Amino acid sequence: MSSGSFIHQTVDHLFRHESGKLIASLTKVFGPHNIELAEDVVQDTLLKAMHTWKMGSIPDNPTAWLFTVAKNKAIDVIRKQKRQKEFADNISHLLKSEYTLSATINDIVSAGEIEDDQLRMMFTCCHPSLSTESQVALILKTLCGFSVAEIAKSFICAVDTIDKRLYRAKLQFRENKIAYEIPSGNELEQRLENVLTAIYLLFNEGYNSAQHAELVRKELQDEAIRLAELLLKNNITAKPQVYALLSLMCVTAARNKARVDNKGNIILLQQQNRNLWNNELIARGINYMEEAASGETITTYHVEAMIACEYVMANTYEQTNWPAILRYYDVLYRLKPTPVVALNRAVIISELDGPEAAIEAVHSIPGINAIKNYYLLPSILGELHKKAGHIDEANQYFREAADLTSNESEKKLLFDKMK
């Protein structure tokens, strides 16, 4: 690998891991109504890192280097715009004085408060004045380093739609003077649901990448788990549903090494080498599930985690407790009656009652047209028709699914099924 390529990969890695931290700290300075300023400063910082490191070498502590550059750029921006803009309410007067500007920035943009800053940022992005879709898109973009294309794929919608959601969200920040804070009471519960949705979408992008050559992106999964664990470090946000989501993510991530071979080919669950599963992650997931049981309510994360635990507790694929999993899917569908849940439930019906029953279940899904562009719909129908001996229909569905996914590993698997 050339030094240029290595530096580019390093900056890309740091963008994914550090940009959210930087934006969270800078938003505390600029205020949520100026979130675009924070994003611009971070973007300029990363561009400077790319240019400077190519000319020399990567510093021993690249994160500290990025924070120092970001602070200096923030000071320059404030000096240029202090007459035109108001910054964070509680410190705006300090930022407009040369006597206190630098000291205030150095004090506020501190690595020691990163965890609290990120929690505040998560909940600020999920303010109730924003639509649910905009909340999730905003937290993925600003805090998790998602590209607009990745968010669009996660929502199964157009890139322009996500651009509009982000624009409207930032407009709401300015018009409603949204505070940079962790809420309390009922408002905390409302926003927490959207925070968890964003974290789960981030994890799913790492589990089954939409816009990347590799199917599994471990760094995204690790980031999602890290953000959820941040919620557990604060007594206010350490709720049963957080434990349940962490259980689901840990148990699912435990199968990473068995899901793809050394040539990048997808290995389906029934062919996976279970000796490659991460037993430490499985144990963590089961422990989190036990903690999740302390609450009085059952969320979709509880049910999905129980399904995931059933898969990893079976010694072989054949020993999987399919009746239990079907019961869990029945509960999940009552909690979340979506076509995607019904589609996954049909796969379990195939294991219990055969492919013909499953095909009938798929075609009877209410609102199935809503997921007609979701590649797993024709992919699952192709697999079911293949099991039922309908080879021509199966190949037609596999071709349709291949046209709907941009992941090369998924395309190869679908084409291989046609052989």
Mind spelling out the 3-state secondary structure of the chain?
CCHHHHHHHHHHHHHHHHHHHHHHHHHHHHCHHHHHHHHHHHHHHHHHHHHHHHHCCCCCCHHHHHHHHHHHHHHHHHHHHCCCCCCCCCCHHHHCCCCCHHHHHHHHCCHHHHHHHHHHHHHHHCCCCCCHHHHHHHHHHHCCCCCHHHHHHHHCCCHHHHHHHHHHHHHHHHHHCCCCCCCCHHHHHHHHHHHHHHHHHHHHHHHCCCCCCCCCCHHHHHHHHHHHHHHHCCCCCCCHHHHHHHHHHHHHHCCHHHHECCCCCECCHHHCCHHHCCHHHHHHHHHHHHHHCCCCCCCHHHHHHHHHHHHHHCCCCCCCCHHHHHHHHHHHHHHCCCHHHHHHHHHHHHHHHCHHHHHHHHHCCCCHHHHCCCCHHHHHHHHHHHHCCCHHHHHHHHHHHHHHCCCHHHHHHHHHHCC
Assigned domain for 307 exists: no
CB 148 within 8 A of CB 163: yes
How is residue 105 written in tokens? 């920035």
Residue 3: what pLDDT? Answer: 58
Assigned domain for 227 exists: no
- In angstroms, the CA 4 to CA 12 distance is 12
Residue 4: what pLDDT? Answer: 59
Site of tokens 């280097």: 65
Residue 261: what pLDDT? Answer: 86
Residue 152: what pLDDT? Answer: 84
Assigned domain for 201 exists: no
CB atoms within 10 A of CB 175: 10
Assigned domain for 305 exists: no
Given a cut of 80, whether residue 96 has pLDDT beyond it is: yes
Of the pLDDT bands very low, low, confident and very high (cuts 50, 70, 90), residue 213 is low
Average pLDDT estimate for 129-153 = 84
Specify the number of domains making up the chain: 2
- In angstroms, the CA 229 to CA 223 distance is 10
Residue 318: what pLDDT? Answer: 94
- In angstroms, the CA 313 to CA 212 distance is 30
Name the residue type at position 176. Answer: N
Residue 387: what pLDDT? Answer: 95
Of the pLDDT bands very low, low, confident and very high (cuts 50, 70, 90), residue 323 is very high
Of the pLDDT bands very low, low, confident and very high (cuts 50, 70, 90), residue 207 is confident
Residue 89: what pLDDT? Answer: 82
Of the pLDDT bands very low, low, confident and very high (cuts 50, 70, 90), residue 277 is very high
Given a cut of 60, whether residue 52 has pLDDT beyond it is: yes
Which of 109, 129, 161 delimits the end of a domain? 109
Of the pLDDT bands very low, low, confident and very high (cuts 50, 70, 90), residue 176 is confident
* Percentage, residues of the chain above pLDDT 90: 53
Rounded to two decimals, the pTM is 0.81
Assigned domain for 295 exists: no
Given a cut of 70, whether residue 331 has pLDDT beyond it is: yes
Assigned domain for 278 exists: no
Which of 92, 109, 126 delimits the end of a domain? 109
- In angstroms, the CA 155 to CA 161 distance is 10
Of the pLDDT bands very low, low, confident and very high (cuts 50, 70, 90), residue 210 is low
Of the pLDDT bands very low, low, confident and very high (cuts 50, 70, 90), residue 350 is very high
- In angstroms, the CA 261 to CA 343 distance is 27
Which residue range is the domain that position 403 belongs to? 330-419
Of the pLDDT bands very low, low, confident and very high (cuts 50, 70, 90), residue 298 is very high
Which of 63, 81, 109 delimits the end of a domain? 109
Assigned domain for 186 exists: no
Average pLDDT estimate for 212-230 = 79
Least confident window among 141-150, 282-291, 304-313, 381-390: 141-150
Assigned domain for 372 exists: yes
Site of tokens 């020691």: 112
CATH number at residue 349: 1.25.40.10
